[in-house]
Homo-oligomer: A and B are copies of this chain.
Amino acid sequence: MAAFQPSVRTNRDSSFVSRSPFSLGLLFACTMHIMPLTVQKFGGTSVANAEKIHRAARRAIRAHKAGHRVVIVVSAMGDTTDQLLALAHEVSSNPPKRELDVLLTTGEQVSIALMAMAINDAGCEAISLTAGQLGLVTDSVHTRARIRRIERQRLERELAAGKIVIIAGFQGIDDSGEITTLGRGASDTTAAALAAVLQADVCEIYTDVDGVYTADPRLVPDARKIDRISYDEMLELASAGAGVMHGRAIEFAMRFNVPMQVRSALTDAPGTMIVAPTEGMEAVAVRGVSLREDLAVVRLTGVPNVPGLAATVFAALAEKNIIVDDIIQNLYQNAESAILGFVVSSEDAAIARELADRLARDHEMGAVEFSEKVSKVSAVGVGMRSHSGVAATMFQALAREDINILAISTSEIVIGCVVPRQDGPRALAAVHAAFGLGDAVNENAASI
């Protein structure tokens, strides 16, 4: 019973603790609950070399010394993953996905070990954990597994011992101990899932930009950093081409209401908070615009007006694992036939076209039209729900620039226009300007 004596107790909240033999356990539970918990995720560019690893280590140590429990998630160093993929394709034309996962997960394992060394070297205790050691359990779909559960036992034991815990991003294990990965860029997802499970106070995503911008600053020089953005706006921007964060990470954060912060690994600027939408956010119609440049359009013309034919087309595409970004228009030319168009990634374009040609032959359709090089400009904002004229503003902006709109898609908080690839950057800048996003003094564009 000696371990439960009051003499072992240390600091705050002791007044809440009874003198029963279980007092220390209770105190402990209280203390754990009171200490804030921060998840910090460092991407590949933020751990690309020893100096950057030390910089990230110092940031984690600072949070730890400020009284936070700190969990770090790291990606593979620099372009390690690409180098490993290149090796795989050197030895095999079609590497088995199971073995790809065994291969690629080594990148993050290197990073966690080095990060733990760097933190220990700076005099602070740290321990690295692979997905297997942590117990981050996924389904068994190699190269794009989904997280099923995260064990908390080991994690909480190490945190309770005062250590900074470093977790390998991107990786998991399935129930039979097979190594899995969550898809490219999914270290964000690991971080968000951990933050959700641990009910973290914040999940900080450190990267080589200092936040989420109203548009890609490389394409739109007067783009501004966004201070606060809602989960669903961020989700739509990400899927519309803004490469800042992995979509599934945002879904996790949204589902479990974890505040996320996208920040620069190089500065102390506050970055962008990604949070649940507040009423005030709707004051702005459009939060940001983005450009997705890797798209192609396939159009089936003269599609017979037969029930179930559209289902046949998209079932055939799904069978080839082709992800359809948008089904654009279904314009009837006459009573008997239709035009059925869809947008796919350039990567899938050749297979999609082949498939469309076959479907057109088999089902006696007209010609297949194919626009290999298109881009999509999207405007995203929860304020669209309550603002009218947003679509008109966007179309007018493109018309003024004499840019042809090949297709339009809309959802509750997104308007997307497919345009010729070469017009993409100009279209982005025009739409950005039309909504006054670059104008810091414009009330409409002020951050919430």
Nearest B residue to A110 by beta-carbon distance?
B106
Q: Is A128 within 8 A of B102, CB to CB?
A: yes
Within 8 Å of chain B (Cβ to Cβ): is A310? no
Within 8 Å of chain B (Cβ to Cβ): is A359? no
Q: Is B94 within 8 A of A121, CB to CB?
A: yes
Which chain B positions have C-beta within 8 A of A109?
102-103, 105-106, 109
Q: Is A92 within 8 A of B121, CB to CB?
A: yes
Which chain B positions have C-beta within 8 A of A177?
132-133
CB distance from A200 to the nearest CB of B (A): 24
Q: Is A91 within 8 A of B132, CB to CB?
A: no
CB distance from A303 to the nearest CB of B (A): 41
Q: Is A92 within 8 A of B110, CB to CB?
A: no
Q: Which of A84, A98, A102 has the most CB of B within 10 A?
A: A102
> Given A99-B113, A99-B128, do A118 and B106 touch, yes or no (CB 8 Å)?
no
Which residues 125-156 of A sit at the B interface, judged by CB distance below 8 A?
Answer: 127-128, 130, 132-133
Q: What does the 1/0 interface line of A347-381 toward B look like (CB < 8 Å)?
A: 00000000000000000000000000000000000
CA–CA, A118 to B87, complex, Å? 11
Which residues 166-208 of A sit at the B interface, judged by CB distance below 8 A?
Answer: 177-179
> Given A53-B91, A128-B102, do A96 and B117 touch, yes or no (CB 8 Å)?
yes
Q: Is A87 within 8 A of B120, CB to CB?
A: no
Q: Which of A87, A99, A106, A121 has the most CB of B within 10 A?
A: A99
CB distance from A440 to the nearest CB of B (A): 41
Which residues 46-96 of A sit at the B interface, judged by CB distance below 8 A?
Answer: 50, 53-54, 84, 87-88, 90-96
Within 8 Å of chain B (Cβ to Cβ): is A238? no
Q: Is A117 within 8 A of B132, CB to CB?
A: no
Within 8 Å of chain B (Cβ to Cβ): is A220? no
CA–CA, A63 to B272, complex, Å? 59
Which chain B positions have C-beta within 8 A of A117?
88, 91-92, 95-96, 99-100, 103
Within 8 Å of chain B (Cβ to Cβ): is A446? no
CB distance from A309 to the nearest CB of B (A): 39
Q: Is A114 within 8 A of B121, CB to CB?
A: no
Which chain B positions have C-beta within 8 A of A99?
113-114, 116-117, 120, 128
* Residue ranges of A at the interface with B (Cβ–Cβ < 8 Å): 50, 53-54, 84, 87-88, 90-96, 98-100, 102-103, 105-106, 109-110, 112-114, 116-118, 120-121, 127-128, 130, 132-133, 177-179
**26 A-B residue pairings within 8 Å (CB atoms):** A50-B91, A53-B91, A54-B91, A87-B114, A91-B117, A91-B118, A92-B120, A92-B121, A94-B121, A96-B120, A99-B114, A99-B117, A99-B120, A100-B113, A100-B117, A102-B109, A102-B112, A102-B130, A103-B114, A106-B106, A106-B109, A106-B110, A106-B113, A109-B109, A133-B177, A133-B178
